[in-house]
Amino acid sequence: MSAHTPGPWQAEEEDQHLLSPDQFRIWINAEGLHVAYVDGPRNVERVANARLTAAAPDLFAALQALVAELDGPGKPDSSDSYAPEHFVTAAKAAIAKATNGASK
């Protein structure tokens, strides 16, 4: 179980008439709840950041599923796996960063 707001999350752009002409805001929403937002002058990077943020719950779940499949007793390891050990190590580090080191 994770403490984050469950997905799916969606990136939704705020009505431009509420903002100044050179500003934009994309809200990250989950079932009517504002989870986060990205705002400032519109540029490709900010829009991409909003999309990446909105995808976070899906990416997190996929990474957890991959680690569960590749790691543990009777699972593939670096000597005979199609997934090198450093991939599993990097995935575990990303999960730990997202959960502040808490297990699922």
Q: What is the CA radius of gyration of the chain?
A: 18
pTM of the model: 0.78
- Asked, for residue 3, whether it belongs to a domain, the answer is no
Asked if 63 contacts 70 with a C-beta cutoff of 8 angstroms, the reply is no
pLDDT above 80 for 11: yes
Asked if 8 contacts 53 with a C-beta cutoff of 8 angstroms, the reply is no
Tokens 């707001």 — which residue?
A: 5
- Owning domain of residue 82: 10-99
- Asked, for residue 5, whether it belongs to a domain, the answer is no
- Asked, for residue 57, whether it belongs to a domain, the answer is yes
- Asked, for residue 4, whether it belongs to a domain, the answer is no
The percentage of the chain sitting over the pLDDT mark of 70, rounded to a whole number, equals 80
- Asked, for residue 72, whether it belongs to a domain, the answer is yes
pLDDT at residue 1, rounded to an integer: 43
Strand partners, 37: 27
pLDDT at residue 60, rounded to an integer: 94
Angle at Cα 31 formed by Cα 57 and Cα 96, nearest 5°? 20
- Asked, for residue 2, whether it belongs to a domain, the answer is no
**Residue 43 binned pLDDT confidence (cut-offs 50, 70, 90):** confident
Long-range contacts of 13-17 (CB under 8 A, 24+ apart): none
pLDDT at residue 96, rounded to an integer: 94
pLDDT at residue 3, rounded to an integer: 81
- Asked, for residue 92, whether it belongs to a domain, the answer is yes
Count structural domains, the chain.
Answer: 1
The stretch 82-87 carries a mean pLDDT of 78
CB neighbourhood size of 100 (10 A): 7
- Asked, for residue 83, whether it belongs to a domain, the answer is yes
Pinpoint the alpha helices (H) of the chain: 44-70, 85-99
pLDDT at residue 93, rounded to an integer: 94
